[in-house]
Amino acid sequence: MPIVDEKSILSDIKTGVLAPIYFIFGNDSFLKQAYSKKIVNAVVSEDDLFNYQKFTNPSDLQEVYDAVMQLPMMQDKKCVVLNDYDFLKADKTDFSKLVTLCEDVSDDTVLVMWFDWVEIDTKSDRVKKLIKAIEKNSGRVVKLDHPTNADLIKTLINGAKKRGCHIEPRVAQYLIENCSNDVNILQNELEKLCAYVKDGAITEETIDLICVKSVEASVYDIAKNIITGRVSVALKILDDLLYMRTDPIVILSIISSAYIDLCRASAARVAGVSPATAASDFSYGNRDFLMTKAFASVRNFDSKKIMLSLNELVGADKNVKSLGSADRTVLEQVLVRLAYIAVKGESID
C-alpha cells in the first residue's frame, strides 16, 4: 500500500470504515495533530476513560500493548494514540514488541501513531519494517507535509469566506509571504484579520496594520531595500530586529539566502529556465514565490554584483562568528557595503 495523504483519512471518516492503524508523519505539525484528532473523534469521545487512551513516548511498551489488546467497553471500537514514540532509538526487544503490536491490532481498535519531534526517514530499515507490519494489517501510512502555495491560498480564501470576509488571491499570497507558510500561524492571523474587518475585505494595508511580520520576511525586506539602494530603510529594519533581540547570525543567514536566490535566478535566466522550473529544481516547494521575486530583482543585478556581494557576506559571517566582534557594527557595515555594490557595481576599497 503506498504512502497516502489527508484525503485518505477524510475518506475513511466519511465512509465510517477506519483502518486499524494510522501511522502519521511529515513536516506539518498542525496537520498531523489535527488529523490525528479527527481520527480519534471519529472513533470515540476523548473523555471516554474506558475506550480512549493516549501515550506520549512511553517507557514501557507493554502498557501500550495491553491497551490495544483490551476489548472496548459498551462501544464498537476503542482508540489508542501513541505519540512520538522514538522507536528508532528503542532497544531491539521494544522495537520487536512494537512490530508485533502493529501486526496484532484487531478490528475492535484503532491505533493512531503520529510523530511530531521524531523524524521519520522512510529509507530507514526500522521504518521499512514497521511500515511493512502496518500494511500487512491493512493500516494506513500517511504523510502530512506543508501544503502547496496554491493550497494555502485556497485555504485562506475559504477560511475568510466562512468567517463572512473576503480576501483576494494576491492578498492571500501577500499574507503568506509576510507572515508564514505554517498553517497554524496563518489560521491565527486570519482570525485576527476577520475580527478586524468584520464582514469586509482584507487588504494588504490591513495585513500591514494587524499582522505580525515574520523575522524571515523582515530580513528579506532588508535585502530588497539594499538591492534597490535604499540603505536607510534597510538599516531601520535592522535596528528594529536587533531591538527585538533577533540573533544577528540568523539575520545574516537570511540575507545570505536572499542573495543565493539571486545567484540561482541569474543562472536560471542565462539557461533560459522559468521561475517555476528553477523553484522546482532547487526544491523551493511552497516557497516558490522567493524565486519569482529573485527573478524580478536580478534583472538589474548582474553576476559581478552578485559575486562581490557574496564575498562581502562571507567576510561578515566570519566576523560575526568570531570572538569579540560587535555584531551590530558588522551587520551595519555589511549592509552599507552591499548597498554600495548594488549602486556602483564595485566593492568599497
CATH number, residue 179: 1.10.8.60
Average of per-residue pLDDT across 6-16: 91
Average pLDDT over residues 184-194: 90
Whether 242 is covered by a domain: the verdict is yes
Judge if 128 and 100 occupy the same domain: yes
The length of the chain is 349
Query: Is the predicted pLDDT of residue 322 greater than 80, yes or no?
Result: no
Same domain flag for 180 and 247: no
Q: Specify whether 61 is located in the same domain as 177.
A: no
CATH number at residue 230: 1.20.272.10
Question: Do both 64 and 138 map to the same domain?
Answer: yes
* 341 has pLDDT over 80: yes
Residue 349 lies in a domain: no
pLDDT for res 319: 85
Q: Read off the pTM.
A: 0.62
Domain end marker among 161, 192, 210: 210
Task: Provide the residue range defining the domain that includes 181.
Answer: 149-210
Per-residue pLDDT tens digits for 262-314: 999 999 998 999 998 998 888 887 788 889 889 988 887 888 999 999 999 99
Predicted confidence at residue 297, as pLDDT, reads 87
Choose the final residue of a domain: 163, 187, 210.
210
The whole-number average pLDDT for the span 329-346 is: 90
Looking at the predicted structure, is the pLDDT value of residue 72 above 70?
yes
- pLDDT at 170 (0 to 100): 94
- Residues in CB range of 87: below 8 A, 6 or more apart: 94, 95, 98, 118, 126, 130
CATH number of domain containing 52: 3.40.50.300
The predicted model gives 16-20 an average pLDDT of 92
Res 324: pLDDT: 57
Cβ atoms of residues 10 and 42 within 8 Å: no
Which of 112, 143, 174 terminates a domain? The answer is 143
Domain count, the chain: 3
Does one domain contain both 15 and 118? yes
Q: At CB < 8 A and 24+ separation, what contacts does 4-10 make?
A: 4/140, 4/141, 4/142, 4/143, 5/142, 5/143, 5/144, 6/31, 6/35, 6/142, 6/144, 8/140, 8/142, 9/35, 9/38, 9/39, 9/140, 9/142, 10/38
184 and 241 share one domain: no
pLDDT recorded at residue 323 = 57
